[in-house]
Amino acid sequence: MTDQRRRAAHTARVLALAALSALLLLAPGVARAADDDAPRIQAPSAIAVELSTGDVVFGRREDVQRGIASTTKLMTALVALEHEPDLSKRFTVPAYAASAGESLANLHAGDRMTMEDLLGGMLLPSGNDAAAAIARSVAGSIPAFVRMMNDRSREIGLDARFRNPIGLDAPGHHASASDLVKLTLLLRRFPAFRDIVDRRSMTLDSASPAITVVNRNTLVQEYPWVDGVKTGHTRSAGYALVGSGRRRGISVISVVLGDPSEAARDADSIALLRYATSKYRRVRPLRKSTVVGRLPLRYRDTKVDIVAAATVTRTAERSEKLQTRVIGLPRDVEGPLRRGARLGTIEVLQRGKVVARIPAVTATPVEAATFWERLDDGLARGWVRFLIGLGVVCLVVLAVLVRRSRRAR
């Protein structure tokens, strides 16, 4: 790997870790499934997370480490995407000696295939041959790639450990449902990943001849709002699925591990996705041009409306209320000011934390006060009238004194 590619890979890892920390550590709150309408699922380990809030909507032994089968390929994809950002780059497909029953993309040894097509062959049909090709392409060998997988796992704070890039059962090869959510959050930063896992099928044009692969995640096939992510199955690990979906503007990730059958896996996953999306709604606690205050104009007996400069849209639990408060406004306003001049800030609070700051601006232009308005305003003030009166008295007294002085002469 060249120095330039090493620097790019390091930068990608730093950005990924920062993004993950921001979402997982700064999330406003965490909820747990305790409702009567929580889905009855068979999976011994499961989780559902709402992405905007970071809430764990449903959790069942989600931190328990266990076999994860081909959902392992999510870590394989992450390492590949972070180290090979040019997805059009071609790599030679090595020969792969498959055991009976392995899932394959049926790649042709010796083909020069793009990284994008290798990812498609790995993620959609769960091709073990594609996963092995990616590992050798990125690291030179499978053992070297596995070291990269485990190094990355430690860097992002996962308890997951890997013995191969495919997901074959092996002692010490494990992850938790929570680990897989964190991996998926990092992968969703890559548009190519989001595009691939949301496809029903994909034609690998860089293969010769071209290969068409079909997504093994049947939920993507059946539900338009489901957009990923990865299936898995081995005899030891059972059936697994990392799912994702967006419905009515609510985005969620689900994970089920250890299900007894493919049907149970799919039923559990769609139940979790439906449940999690149903618990939230998109709300607008602040709309553009909403009047949040009225400030008096200096030297005039009128006021100017102060309004929100933008609309704020947030995801919230259905019973949740968001608050707003205005800070930093002056006591009055002196022109000239253009329409939209910022005079303060509107804060939107969710669960006691500020989640948005929007400028509070003038709804209309404010002209400069005229001389007569300034004079009239001054005359209307009591202290000004007092000073004027005092000045008149002083003038009268001075006039009397001058007159007496003239008479004395």
* pLDDT-wise least confident of 21-35, 286-300, 346-360: 21-35
Q: What is the CA radius of gyration of the chain?
A: 33
Residue 26: what pLDDT?
A: 34
What does pLDDT average to over the chain? 89
Mean pLDDT calculated for residue range 95-105: 91
Residues paired with residue 163 on neighbouring β-strands, in sequence order: none
Report the first-to-last Cα separation within the chain, whole angstroms: 111
Residue 386 confidence class, pLDDT cut points 50, 70, 90: low
Cis peptide before 397 (omega within 30 of 0): no
158-207 confidence digits (pLDDT tens): 999 999 999 999 999 999 999 999 999 999 999 999 999 999 999 999 99
Give, as one character, the DSSP assignment of residue 27.
Answer: -
pTM for the model stands at 0.82
40-52 confidence digits (pLDDT tens): 999 999 999 999 9
115-139 confidence digits (pLDDT tens): 999 999 999 999 999 999 999 999 9
- Determine which helix (DSSP H) or strand (DSSP E) holds 113, and give its type and residue range: strand 112-114
Q: Is the pLDDT of residue 291 over 70?
A: yes
Report the Cα 397 to chain-centroid distance in Å. Answer: 78
Angle at 41 between CA 39 and CA 46, to 5 degrees: 100
Give the whole-angstrom CA distance, residue 294 versus residue 304. Answer: 6
Helix (H, G, I), strand (E, B) or coil at 25: helix
Identify whether the C-beta of residue 344 lies closer than 8 Å to the C-beta of residue 328: yes
User: What tokens does 237 get?
Assistant: 């690990």
Residue 371: what pLDDT?
A: 56
Give the whole-angstrom CA distance, residue 5 versus residue 279. Answer: 43
Q: Which one has a higher pLDDT value, 254 or 379?
A: 254
Residue 266 confidence class, pLDDT cut points 50, 70, 90: very high
Give the whole-angstrom CA distance, residue 334 versus residue 368. Answer: 7
Residue 375: what pLDDT?
A: 53
Give the whole-angstrom CA distance, residue 342 versus residue 367. Answer: 15
> What percentage of the chain carries pLDDT values higher than 90?
78
Residue 251: what pLDDT?
A: 98
Residue 372: what pLDDT?
A: 54
What is the DSSP secondary-structure string of 57-86?
EEEESTT--B--GGGGHHHHHHHHHHH---
Report the Cα 198 to chain-centroid distance in Å. Answer: 18
CATH superfamily to which 3-278 belongs: DD-peptidase/beta-lactamase superfamily (3.40.710.10)
The structural architecture, per CATH, of the domain 284-362 is Sandwich (2.60)
User: What tokens does 244 get?
Assistant: 């994702």
Q: Is the pLDDT of residue 142 over 50?
A: yes
Residue 335 confidence class, pLDDT cut points 50, 70, 90: confident
Give the whole-angstrom CA distance, residue 330 versus residue 154. Answer: 51
- Runs of H (alpha helix) within 124-238: 128-139, 142-155, 177-187, 191-197, 218-222
Identify whether the C-beta of residue 149 lies closer than 8 Å to the C-beta of residue 139: no
Identify whether the C-beta of residue 283 lies closer than 8 Å to the C-beta of residue 249: no
Nearest partner of 368 among 339, 336, 405, judged by Cα: 336
Residue 405: what pLDDT?
A: 75
Q: Is the pLDDT of residue 147 over 80?
A: yes
Per domain, the residue ranges of the chain are: 3-278, 284-362, 378-408
| Strands of 210-367, DSSP E | 211-214, 226-234, 238-247, 250-259, 280-286, 291-296, 303-308, 312-317, 323-327, 342-350, 353-362
Work out the widest C-alpha separation in the chain, in whole angstroms. Answer: 135
Residue 396: what pLDDT?
A: 76
Residue 80: what pLDDT?
A: 98
Give the whole-angstrom CA distance, residue 68 versus residue 258. Answer: 8
Residue 14: what pLDDT?
A: 45
- Indicate if 284-362 has the same CATH topology as 3-278: no
Which residues, 6 or more positions from 116, have their beta carbon under 8 angstroms from its beta carbon? 87, 88, 192, 196
Q: Is the pLDDT of residue 6 over 80?
A: no
